[in-house]
Amino acid sequence: MVKDQDYLKKTASFCVDLAKKLGATGVTAIVINSISETVNFRNKKLDESDRSDSWAVALETYIGKKKSSITSSNLSENNIKTLIERCIETTKITPEDEFNSLPDKDLLATKIIDLNLYDDDHISNEEKIEYLKEVEEAAFEKKEITNTETSFSESKSNFILASSDGFLNGHKSSSFSASCVTVAKNANNKMERDYEFTDTCHLCDMLKPNQIGTLAAKRTIQKLNPQKIESEKISVIFDRRISKGILSVFASAISASSIARGTSFLKDKINEDVFSPSINIVDKPNIVKGLGSRYFDAEGVKMEELKLVEQGVLKHYLVDTYNGKKLNLRSNGRSGGTSNLYFEKGSISYRDLLKLNNRALYITETIGHGNNLVTGDYSVGATGFMVENGIFKHPVSEITIAGNFKDMFKNITLADDLEFKYSTNAPTMLIEGMVVAGK
């Protein structure tokens, strides 16, 4: 079991009080305890079993406009005292930065509602092993599958954030996840791989093991015997596993740090049309059991739902205290990034989206990180399927897809198949007129 909150609160408060006595004008302290257990299988045999129990204390001290930070995994009282003393001494010799400060006190979270992020249930290693055996047995029911790698992880964590402004709060969270990677071989000994996984706050919400193995095998077998295609300009459909990546790039582009540095193609775009009018993007921190749900951000600032894009218009950046002061904006509780970020679902069905064009390329995997946030250029390797009149014709490999986010955002059509499977979620997405480089 993770340590109770009273112990963490006592430790965090001790850090704040001592730092203030030693001359700090502002202090924040985070104390975390997390426990995780992982079992890995490979080809129906136990490959690895691991358990970790970790502690961490992270301290930030301010003296006027000077600031420094320090972390440690040793929570003994003597070590914490030494840690605080070092942090104070470092702060004294750190150059001033006019933007250094704690959050505005009126922005701190005061009301904490239960979002059901913690599950007391525990699954033993023996039960984890049985789960993974079922996953692999389901995958190996397909004769084309020649290799499997599966994993089951359970983690529990508890943390407290304390500050010299009087903030003292935290929460427990839990995660149960399982994954299966399969390799398939065709008659010519050519191989392909794919995967399936489940990740939930509560044990009872996980996919059944046979579902994971069956889906992983199905996806892998579908990729066998890929063909190469000619270079062309074509509509590209992104599977939900990939379309959420487009949303992650958008989040990076609207982070206050990128905007303040001038390294984002969305700088100075507030209240401008960035997407097509049908697009709405929301960051919602208060989803019950949400994988990205949070009560407050990394600075203790209350988190509220933000409609980042309304009918294509960019309404907000993701603002923390430090970069917000650079931009003359107040924090909106996004120190540490987004919570549950998603595109609102579109108005067209998945099947109808596939039929919007006579020919389209359906992407199931991208390779590399070809995102240039300064220019908006996008270029990645990819694999997927050729779709004709809504029908999947054959798998495609060894291609590169490219475009610029400024144009891509304006040409997005979303299906109505949004699922909340991750902390960042998007429905199936079609983007018109992308460049595909093939053979």
Per-residue confidence (pLDDT) for residue 368, from 0 to 100:
81
Whether 284 and 340 have beta carbons less than 8 Å apart is answered as yes
In this predicted structure, what is the pLDDT of residue 189? 85
Pair 139, 286 in one domain: no
Please state the rounded mean pLDDT for residues 184-189. Answer: 88
Task: Tell me: do 38 and 138 sit in the same domain.
Answer: yes
For residues 84 and 200, state if they share a domain: yes
| Pair (184, 300) in one structural domain | no
Q: What is the Cα gyration radius of the chain?
A: 24
Q: Which domain holds residue 48?
A: 5-222
Instruction: Say yes or no: 195 and 232 in one domain.
Output: no
Q: Which of 181, 190, 189, 187 is nearest to 220 (CA)?
A: 181
Q: pLDDT tens digit string along 239-293?
A: 999 999 999 999 999 999 999 999 999 999 999 999 999 999 999 999 999 999 9
Question: Which residue among 158, 193, 222 closes a domain?
Answer: 222
Query: Could you tell me the CATH number of the domain that includes residue 49?
Result: 3.30.2290.10
**Last residue within a domain, chosen from 172, 205, 222:** 222
Question: Does 337 lie in the same domain as 285?
Answer: yes
pTM > 0.85 = yes
Domain boundary among 222, 240, 275: 222
Number of domains in the chain: 2
State whether 154 and 262 are in the same domain: no
Q: Please check whether residues 46 and 145 belong to one and the same domain.
A: yes
- Is residue 176 located within the same domain as residue 33? yes
| Residue 209 and residue 276 share a domain | no
The predicted structure's pLDDT at residue 24: 97
Q: pLDDT digits over 121-180, tens only?
A: 999 999 999 999 999 999 999 999 999 999 999 999 999 999 999 999 999 999 999 999
